[in-house]
Every structure is written in C-alpha cells, then in structure tokens.
Chains A and B, each alone.
Chain A
Amino acid sequence: MKSSLVLQRFILVLFLVLITVPGIQGVTKILNVRSLFGVIPPKQKVELSLMSWMDGLYQPYMIEMAKDNIGFRPYLVRLSNQINYSIFDHLTSIYVVRGKQDYLYELAYVENAMGKHLMHADTLKTIARRLSLINEYLKSRSKQMIVIIAPNKARFYPEYLPDESVSFPEVSNYSNVKTYFEGESLPVLDCIEIFEKEKANAKYPLIGKCGSHWSMYGSSVIADTLMSRLQSQSDQLIKTFRIGEIETSDVTRATDGDLNGLANLMFDIPSGTLAYPKLEPKEGGKKLRVLAVGDSYYLSFMHNGLVETCFTPNSLMLYYFSTVYEGCEVSDKKLSDIDFNALLEDVDVVLLCSAEPNTDIAYYEFTKRFEQLILHK
C-alpha cells in the first residue's frame, strides 16, 4: 500500500514534468533536438492587444504557435509517423510517395513524370536560346558546355509506383526540355535515357530504393560517361578516373537514403544493398576548372569524388544560382563577390545539371546573367 502511494506520487511528479518541460524546451531550446525535414509555413504574426484579444484574433494565433513550437516536436512527429507507417501501413509525409515494396519517390518527380506542373513553354525556349548563345561563345574559345538531364526515379522505376501513378503522358517537362534543348543543338547528356539502357545490366542499383537522387554508384556511372565525353571533345589530355574498389553496404551514405529523411520516421525504411565505388585518378591529364550550375544532383559528384579527382579546387558550383560551392565545400562567397566576366574566360567547362522539376529555377537566372555578359562583350 505504501509502495503504491510512493509510485502514485512519483507519477504525479512525472506528469508535472511531462507537461512542463516541453513548453520550457519550446521557448529556450536548451536541448539540441534533430530537426524535421520539410517546412512549417510561416504564420502571420498577431500582436497581443486588447482589440486582438477581444476580437478573438490573438488566441488562435497563440494556439498555433504553441503547437508549432512545442519542445521535442520532431520526436513527437516522428513517433506519430512511425505508428502510422508500422501499424497502419501509411506514410504520412506530404513530400513522399510510397510505392510497391516500400520504394519511395519524391512527389514532385512523380507528378512531373505524370505531366503535371508544366513549365511555361516560353520560359524553356528562352533558357534553351540563351544556353545556345553561351555554348556558341564557349565553343569559340575552345571551351565546353554540357547540359546534364538528371534521372527521374519515377521514370526509372515505374514498376514500383502505386497503381494510380503509372500513366505518363507524352508531354511533360522532360519531353519539353529535350525538344527545346535539342532544337537548339545543345550538348545534352540525357541520364534518363542512359539509365534506362543501363538498368537491366547494372550490377548495383543506379537509384536507391529510399533515395530521390541517383545512387553513389549511379552518379559514378554518369561521371564516367561525362568524363569520356569531355575527353572525346577535348584536344588535350584531361584528368579522368577509373572505378576502383566497390564497397557494398546496407547503410546508406550521402543522398542514397534521402527520402527516409523526408518521411520523418523514427527508424529508416531499409534501402537494401547499395554500392560505393572508389574513383581512382588516372595518370596524367589536366584537371579542369569547372563552372557548374544546377540542383542537388550535381552535389553527388562532390560526394562520389569526381570533383576532387578531376576538377580544380577552385571549380565553382552555383546551386540554383544562389549558394556558391568552391571545390566540394560551401563557400563564404556570395554571387556578388564573383567576377563572372573573368570566370567565363577562365573556366574550361560549364556543366549544367538539373532534374526535370527544377530546370526553370535552376537555369533561368544563370542564363539571363550570362546572356547579358556575352552580349555586352
């Protein structure tokens, strides 16, 4: 009887702790909690005043704020998502589509493959026209440009998509990009086509089961093709690589399991065995100074070792023409710090790399800036 009373007192104190600490943590953020992937849309701030209180405007705002800023929110969200996934077979994330056999897809890619979110034709035509101008300018100075169309997992693994998502129309952002870019005779490296050809024979998955991007193995295959193409069109010997030892692992690296992150679960969905090749530099050859522009697909070339092995340390990557990477690291430099005129004269290669949902945002501003630059020369 006494022990029961002690336990009841303990639970009483524990309950008080449980209802007090999340509020304090929410305000002070004393403990470091791994945050969630995704965003909470910002709410319009309502100031506390007699009017806002009496009109009942302040209270709903505070209710939402208390909910969004509760301490340990990531744990609570992950727990709920995990229960929904493990018990009710339902993935809660709004960004992730769960396919058959637990293959995950990023929603934007599935919808693009289904012909949704079509970019304005004029925008794509403008980008293609400007890229053509840039390409001609580079060619006149014996430099190269390659436009990499990154793969789309929904197109690569249509067999694992949920039944309602497998119909792909003829017209999509991918088809439009291809039409307009090839119409301007741009040097395109179409990884959707390459992956489709390689799919049956690839020794290891080219795209991970729980990854949105190409796998480290897939990106190495593309790196190999890219460097071969660059060498074939160059007069001088350039630094290339050979694929050395291939390590396999059930634990994902780099972006190979990135959709697990977006799913915000407590425990990752198993991704199966993935391959991690080591890129070994070949003897001789000149490292290229590269200017890359694009989306996160290009970052895989930093993760798989291509940038370090074959490109100069001062090669730049302009992520969405916004964040600057130098070599493999995010740079303190801002776009305004870069002398694009000098850069254009100094680089050996311009690489553009983006997946179909991002083509317009990744390239529009870059092409605009460089078009002006070239026209004013």
Chain B
Amino acid sequence: MVFSSHIFIFWFLPLCLISYMLVPKKAKNSLVLFFSLVFYAWGAPRFVLILIGSSLVDFYLAKGMVNNYRSKLLISIGVTLNVALLATFKYLNFFIENVNFMLMQFGIEEVSWTSVALPIGISFFTFQKISYLVDVYRGTCRPRQSFINYLLFVSLFPQLIAGPIVRYKDVADQITDRFASENARERFNGIFRFVIGLAKKVLIANVLAEQVDNMFAESNISDLGTISVWIGMLAYSFQIYFDFSGYSDMAIGLGKMIGFTFPENFNYPYISKNITEFWRRWHMTLGTWMKDYLYIPLGGNRSSVKRTYINLWTVFFISGIWHGASWNFMLWGIFHGSILILDRLFLIRLTSKLHSVVQVLITYFLTLIGWVLFRFENAADFKLIYSRMFSWQLDTTPLEPSNRFYAILILAALFAFMGMRKKVETATNGLYQPSLGPGTTIFKSLTLILIFILCVSELTVSGYNPFIYFKF
C-alpha cells in the first residue's frame, strides 16, 4: 500500500488515526502494531510470517545477550541470520543468474532453480533489526521486555517499507513513552509534513516520472539525442529526489501523528559542494547506519590512511548492492566510494578554491553521472546514455514533452537548489519545526489544505504512482 493512494489516504489513515486517538494509552502500541501488520500484509501477505518469525528470533537473542559471556556468539548468530535472510531474498536470484552465466561460458549445464520473490521493505527492516541487536550488544540500549513492542519497532508502518532507517536507539524510549509528544501541535506538524511529502511525490515526482519513463522506454531510448538525454537525466535526478524525500517526509509526518519522531533523511542534497557533503544530506539515515554499524566496526578512520580508504570504498560498495542486486547498483556504489576517496585525496582541496555555485554545479554533475548507473540496469543502455550525453546528436524521433513537464522541471530545480541561500534553507527547515507563531500557523494551515486538495485531485486523474525505493 503506497501512502499516495486513495486506499491509504481515505481508508487506512483515517481508520488508524481515529482509532489511535480513541483507544486508551495502554492499547496504543498494540493498535499501531495491528495496523502495521495489516499494512505489510497488504503488500506482502506471504512474508508477514517471515517478518514476525525473524523478529522473534532477534527478540530472544537480544534478551540472551544481557550479562551473558556468550553475547558475542549471540550477536554473531543474530547478525548472520539477518544478513542471510537479506541475502537469500535479495541476492540469491542475482547470484544464481551470474553462476549460470559463468557455467554457460564454459559450456556447463545451468543450475535449475525457481526465482525467489523479494519481500517489500526487507532492506530497510533488516537493517533496523540489526541495529537493535547491535545496540543491545553494545549496551547502548536495554533489550525489550515485550515482544509486541519489539515487533512494533521493526514493523512500524510509516517507515517499514522505505525508511527512514530508524536505529533502535533513536526510538527505544518513544516506543513506551512518547505520550508527551502526542499533542495537537505535533499532530498538526505531522499532517503538514505528510502533505508536503505527498505534494513532492504527486505533484512533482510523478509528473517527471511519466515523462522520464516515456523518454527512457526501450522503444524510445535509441532515438534520443543529446538534449533529450540531458533533459531526461535532469528530470530523473529531481524525480528520485522528490520521490524519495517525499516518501521520507510522509513517513516522518505519519510518525508525528502517532507520537514518534523519526530522524531526518534529506537536507537539500543537491546544494552539496562535494560528494562527501552530498552523503551527509542524501539518505542521511542510511549514511548514519552505515557509519555506526559498518564503517566504525571496520575500523573507520582510526587505522592507516590506506585502511580508511578501503573501509570507505567497502561501505559504498555495500551501499550500492543494498539498493539492488544488480551490477549497475554495485557500479553506482563504487563510483560514489571512489569519488569520496578522491575527495579526501585532493578533490575537495581543489574545488574549494572555486566559487560555491561552481562547486555545487560540479557536485550535481557528478551525482547526475552516478544516476545514469542507478537508472539503467542494462549495461548497453547506460553506455548509450553516456555516449549521447557527451557526443552531439539530434533526436531521431523528437519527443515533445508537455508544458506541464517543463514547468514542473523548473519548479523542481528551484525547490532543489533554493537551499543554497542559507536563509532559505533555515527558513524552510524551520517550517517543519513545531511553531506557535500565529502567522506561521495560518500560512501552514492554508498551504496544507490547498496542497492536499491539489494532490488528491492529481492522484484521482493520474495512473502513475510507484515509489522508486519500494523495490529496494
């Protein structure tokens, strides 16, 4: 069930919110858990038991770690099981496909197998489960005494499918004691945030996506000339940003409506002056998770410079394959990891002498190059796109995007880069904070109602609605 659907907005959400407000405090967690499991069972009914069963294993392993000399063994088992779960569902198909390809090269008979379906949200909830085990192991948090509360942390519907990735320590206290933040002010703020996210998705990302998909459709891609390819890639860069950050905003907003405060996931990533900064602004919760649970355990930057680079590269390689089991995501991770190393070696020193606008443009250009790898699974396609981007060619059959597409593209660029002015960045981020000023409240209220009606109107006529990050 996607947040930007009628069934979610007009059935699931009101039922969940109204019943949540009506039930006594004691029943609130059970109620949210019930709705979360229904939410998950809607999209992946066959995998609910896997979610519950694997959470049960985590729950008892974590309990067993406390004051236990074998806690290292238990954490190893827990992390291994979770990684194995992810590997089985996400990477087994890819692995066997490649083994079969190799066998075919040597004239050996292929391995016959039935492909494994990918449970939605597995990349996200597996990382959350690992964070729980590690946080308990490190003693940062105490293990949950109630399985219902632990399962709630794993399956909390606002962030279950596509994040933000919530570390256990971020929400541990909120699971049992968030009632202070359950007030009209927070809920109002949550609604505002949800509607802004909905607008990013419905009014911007979907409009761009329709044209991008049309441009890069198999039947059209070879007809594209240089200008169309650049327009398509610019649109894709904004599509993915508004799609994913829109989803995160909706998740954060929904969390606030039921008293949870989730970490921020985006902060004007395209105004970054280098790729290092980009990763502090893009999918921030993945970056934080990777840092806490992978980069630091690998040694971080405490060892030699060479080791630090290897760690960095490893983290980004894993980030790449976390997104999807295919070579293009690996290449995308390697591309970003390599630029990060170049940043540390000389790139930041070199570019920091330039005007800030130029630095932003260079960084944006690099992310755009990366998005080509992210967008096209097929090597022949991304090679073609690169060749068209950097050699002049006219469209064979001109595609004529609508006025609306160009208007939204310009608007998207404006919204994506407006944070370059520090005042704007502070002011817009401030809009998400609970504010009691009457002027701000009136502004937010009017914006909220107007945008919500526009979004629902657009949703009602449009057929295009998938979230990019749902497939991860």
CB pair A89–B403 under 8 Å, yes or no, is yes
Within 8 A of B (CB), among A1-56: 1, 3-5, 7-9, 11-12, 14-16, 18-20, 22-23, 26, 53-54, 56
Q: Is B201 close to A, CB under 8 A?
A: no
A20 vs B43: C-alpha distance in the bound complex, in angstroms?
23
B13 touches A12 (CB 8 A): no
B1-21 residues with Cβ-Cβ distance < 8 A to A are 1, 5-7, 9-11, 13-14, 17-18
Question: In the complex, which of the residues A59, A67, A80, A88 contacts B402, with contact meaning CB atoms closer than 8 Å?
Answer: A88
Q: How large is the interface on B (under 10, 10 to 19, 20 to 34, 35 or more residues)?
A: 35 or more
Task: State the Cβ distance, A181 to closest chain B Cβ, in Å.
Answer: 40
**In whole angstroms, what is the CA distance A52 to B191 when docked?**
34
Residues B457 and A7 in contact, CB atoms below 8 Å apart: no
The residue that A66 contacts in the complex, of B6, B402, B436, B449, with Cβ under 8 A, is: B6
- Whether A73 is near chain B, meaning CB under 8 Å from some CB there, is yes
CB pair A88–B407 under 8 Å, yes or no, is yes
Do A15 and B448 touch across chains, with their CB atoms under 8 A apart?
yes
Q: Which B433-472 residues have a C-beta within 8 angstroms of A? A: 435-438, 441-442, 445, 448-449, 452-454, 456-461
Q: Give the CA-CA distance A92 to B207 in the complex, in Å.
A: 14
User: Given A7-B438, A66-B5, A70-B6, do A54 and B46 touch, yes or no (CB 8 Å)?
Assistant: yes
A interface residues, Cβ below 8 angstroms from B? 1, 3-5, 7-9, 11-12, 14-16, 18-20, 22-23, 26, 53-54, 56, 59, 62-63, 66-67, 70, 73, 76-77, 79-81, 83-84, 87-90, 92
Residues of B within 8 A of A (CB): 1, 5-7, 9-11, 13-14, 17-18, 41-43, 45-46, 184-185, 187-188, 191, 402-404, 407, 435-438, 441-442, 445, 448-449, 452-454, 456-461
**A84 — which chain B residues lie within 8 A by C-beta?**
404
Given contacts A54-B46, A67-B5, 13 further A-B pairs with CB under 8 A are A15-B191, A16-B17, A19-B9, A20-B10, A23-B11, A59-B1, A63-B5, A66-B10, A67-B6, A70-B6, A88-B402, A88-B403, A88-B407
Which residues of A are found within 8 Å of B10, using beta-carbon distances?
19-20, 22-23, 26, 66, 70
State whether B461 touches A77 (Cβ < 8 A).
yes
Return B319 CB to nearest CB of chain A, in Å: 30
How many residue pairs at the A-B interface have CB separations less than 8 Å? 112
Are the C-beta atoms of A76 and B46 separated by less than 8 Å? no
Return chain A residues, CB-CB under 8 Å to B46: 54
Q: Report if A16-B14 is in contact (Cβ < 8 Å); known contacts: A4-B441, A7-B438, A66-B6.
A: yes
Residue on B with the closest CB to A62? B7
Closest to B461 in A: A80
In the complex, are the beta carbons of A23 and B14 less than 8 A apart? Answer: yes
The dominant DSSP class at the A interface is helix
- Do B402 and A11 have beta carbons less than 8 Å apart? no
Q: Which of A5, A19, A76 contacts B460 (CB 8 A)?
A: A76
Q: Which residues of A contact B5 (CB under 8 A)?
A: 63, 66-67
A76 in contact with B445 given A15-B191, A23-B14, A90-B402 (CB within 8 Å)? no
Question: In the complex, which residues of chain B have a beta carbon less than 8 angstroms from the beta carbon of A62?
Answer: 7
A-B complex: 3 closest residue pairs judged by Cβ atoms: A8-B188, A88-B404, A66-B7
Q: B461's contact among A5, A26, A92, by CB below 8 Å, is which? A: A92
Knowing A67-B460, A83-B454, say if A12 contacts B184 (CB, 8 Å). yes
B191 A20 Cβ-Cβ under 8 A: no
CA distance A89 to B403 in the complex (A): 8
Q: Which residues of chain A have C-beta atoms less than 8 A from B17's C-beta? A: 16, 19
Given contact pairs A16-B17, A90-B403, A80 touches B460 in the complex (Cβ within 8 A) = yes
